[in-house]
Amino acid sequence: MRVCFLILFLPIIGFTQTNLQSDISSKVSGQPSNYGSSFFYNPPNKVILGSYYLFDEWNNNGIIETISGDRFLVKKINLNMSRNAFEAKGENDSIFSFNFNNIDKVIVNDKVFKNYYYNEDNRVYQVVYENDSFSILKGFSVKLVSRSGNPMINRENDRYVRKKKYFLRNKKSKTIKYFKLNRRSINKLFTNINKSQIEIDSFISENELSFKEEKDVSKILDYIFER
């Protein structure tokens, strides 16, 4: 695997030697690119509370890993939940929007994100847990809630409401279905394992783990399916 690091500042880019150099250059010139396209953002005139971006701040470093195994570093990256795309902010309100045509995954703040297409839905998910058989994913959405003139509702401005849901992806069938992050749903994943329920319960109790916390669920499943 070749590893290269690229500092992305739109519309100016600095880079080390890399076979991605011609591709990145085409982004800036507006020519077709294998990784996305650039545009300028014009903020709306009216006040809208909240944000349709996953991260509240833009000071995030992201690692883009391509299907061919190359990696490059992108600064000021965020997930636009409305467009379902990662975007990098440049100077003068310029934005570069990544597509997943040649990208395997994106890593931001130690969180892994992948894009899956299923049942006519193309969506970016955060990978909560993954093994050879299945993945637990977290999907994101955002809804624009209009202001209300009713003083009892107390909503003077439009606002974005961000939501999340969990999903289970079967790697063999490639199906994706809604999944609840709780004990009952997770217990259904425990098939053909070498650990007893007593061992599992003891591990959870001793480590004070919760089935509702992502990091805890990952630790539980790592313990259950460890080789």
Q: Where are the domains of the chain?
A: 6-179, 181-227
Q: Do the strands 103-108 and 94-98 form a parallel or antiparallel pair, or are they unpaired?
A: unpaired
Q: What is the pLDDT of residues 135-193, one digit of tens each?
A: 999 999 999 887 766 665 666 778 889 999 999 999 999 999 999 999 999 988 887 67
pLDDT of residue 28: 34
Mean pLDDT of 201-226: 93
How far does Cα 198 stand from its chain's mean position?
35
23, pLDDT greater than 80: no
Residue labelled with tokens 């990696």? 71
Mean pLDDT of 192-205: 87
How far does Cα 52 stand from its chain's mean position?
13
Residue 87 confidence class, pLDDT cut points 50, 70, 90: very high
pLDDT of residue 102: 85
Q: What is the pLDDT of residues 116-133, one digit of tens each?
A: 998 888 899 999 999 999
62-67 contacts, C-beta under 8 A, 24 or more apart: 62/86, 62/88, 62/106, 62/107, 62/108, 63/106, 63/107, 63/108, 64/35, 64/98, 64/103, 64/106, 65/103, 65/104, 65/105, 65/106, 65/107, 66/20, 66/102, 66/103, 66/104, 67/102, 67/103, 67/104
Which two structure tokens, joined as six digits, stand for 23?
């591709």
Decide if 129 contacts 106 (C-beta within 8 A): no
How far does Cα 146 stand from its chain's mean position?
26
pLDDT of residue 125: 97
Q: What is the pLDDT of residues 40-85, one digit of tens each?
A: 665 666 778 889 999 999 999 999 998 888 888 888 999 999 999 9
